[in-house]
Amino acid sequence: MSTDDATEKARANGNGVELPSTQRLIPFENKEHNPESYEDMQLDYSPLLFSSLERYLPPNMLNLPRDRKVHFLSDILTRYSPQGEHTRVQKHRKYRQQILSNYEPRHKELYTMNAANFFVPSFLKAISENSEESFRSIMVEPTPGVYTFEMFQPKFCEMLMAEVESMERWVHDQRFHIICPNTMNKYGVVLDDFGLETMLNKLMDGYICPMSRVFFPEVGGLTLDSHHGFVVEYGVNRDIELGFHVDDSEVTLNVCLGEQFYGGDLFFRGVRCDKHVNTETQSEEVFDYAHIPGRAVLHRGRHRHGARATISGHRVNLVIWCRSSVFRELKKHQNDFSSWCGDCRREKKERQHLSVAATKLELLKRDGISAS
């Protein structure tokens, strides 16, 4: 075997052994296959990601034991992750395990999905009927692509805020340095790191995904397979406001948990792709939203927004960034996002307008020649 051949095989799976074509992911989803759950396994990646990718396994692998499928899929994820990502994932896993081994939950009932105790009846009814009509019956769409609705019971909001307070007290007492919720918020807690990942996975899969499939299919709403769940806090000695940005998500759920506060309105300024993220806002894209405890806001992650200053009091919000690995991979090979980016849509309409005008001019010229 030549050096070039050996190198090519090493690239094939990272171990110097080329995978046969039957042992690679197939290019289309097997929608009839019912994937297994991986939530009870210790994994370097989200359990939902494994369930999602299982639909793309070659037919001869679908009935293999879970550990065999995990090994195969983990190898693929490791090979296609950015350089250093696997090391980062392993370090974060150790960090999370340190928390889970020492933190004692205050409200253990929060750590398993209990829909009847978490959600308001109107929301549960809409989810059980699972139709656009049922979803719209509980929603308000004050501006295109932003949906608001009653979601959580007051008791759930109070328990989650008390749990976050307990987490922060433990962090202070242990002098433990925790990772911030994101690059912009300095105050709050990543709930996944404190043991709530499984519950939030079920919240996304069973309650956010049904709505996302209906309202956001063009931005990965059909294939959400992982999340980042956290709580942020605003007020005195906390974050005051949040600058203009887009989320690292395909779909975002933002729920105000409480408490008493003044200010802190969300402002939305249109949906944009990476190319147009800093372009001018059109007048019809301007919308401001005032938070109400227990009420949710659902929107595309690429919907530009920010939060005005919380002038007084203390505001606490639960935020879940829902992501689609399939959509992110497909997006790398696309240039036109006119189905959801406001500026791509305007540019496409302008191109169509110019094309029609040019065609009319050419026809007029031909008619003139024929007449002469």
Q: Bridge-partner residues for 245, per DSSP? A: 305
pLDDT for 13 beyond 70: no
- Is the predicted pLDDT of residue 337 greater than 70, yes or no? yes
Identify the bridge partners of residue 307 per DSSP, sorted by sequence position.
242, 266
Averaged pLDDT, 285-308 = 96
The answer, yes or no, to whether residue 234 has pLDDT greater than 90, is yes
Residue 20 has pLDDT above 50, yes or no: no
pLDDT band at 190 (very low <50, low <70, confident <90, very high): very high
Summarised one tens digit per residue, pLDDT across range 244-284 is 899 999 999 999 998 889 999 999 999 999 999 999 999 99
Q: With cut-offs at 50, 70 and 90, classify the pLDDT of residue 19.
A: very low
**Measured distance CA(178)–CA(102) in Å, rounded:** 13
Mean pLDDT score, 154-166: 96
CB 220 within 8 Å of CB 65: no
Instruction: State pLDDT tens for residues 59-98.
Output: 888 889 999 999 888 887 777 666 666 677 778 888 999 9
Which residues make Cβ contacts (< 8 Å) with residue 22, sequence separation at least 6? 58, 60
Q: Which of 287, 292, 215, 290 is nearest to 251 (CA)?
A: 215
**Residue 291, Cβ neighbours under 10 Å: how many?**
23
Query: Over the stretch 118-137, which tens digit does the pLDDT of each residue have?
Result: 999 999 999 999 999 999 99
Q: Looking at the predicted structure, is the pLDDT value of residue 3 above 50?
A: no
Which pLDDT band, with edges at 50, 70 and 90, does 23 fall under?
Answer: low
Confidence (pLDDT) at 21? 45
Query: Torsion angle, CA of 333/336/340/341, rounded to 10 degrees?
Result: 110
CB of 195 closer than 8 Å to CB of 100 = yes
- Report whether pLDDT(4) > 50: no
**Confidence at 43, pLDDT banded by 50, 70, 90:** confident
% of the chain beyond a pLDDT of 90: 61
Average pLDDT over every residue of 175-187: 90
Secondary-structure class of domain 107-332 per CATH? mainly beta
- The mean predicted confidence, pLDDT, of the chain is 88
* 10 pLDDT above the threshold of 70: no
189: buried, middle or exposed (CB in 10 Å: 19+, 13-18, 0-12)?
Answer: buried
Domain extents for the chain?
107-332
Residue 27 has pLDDT above 90, yes or no: no
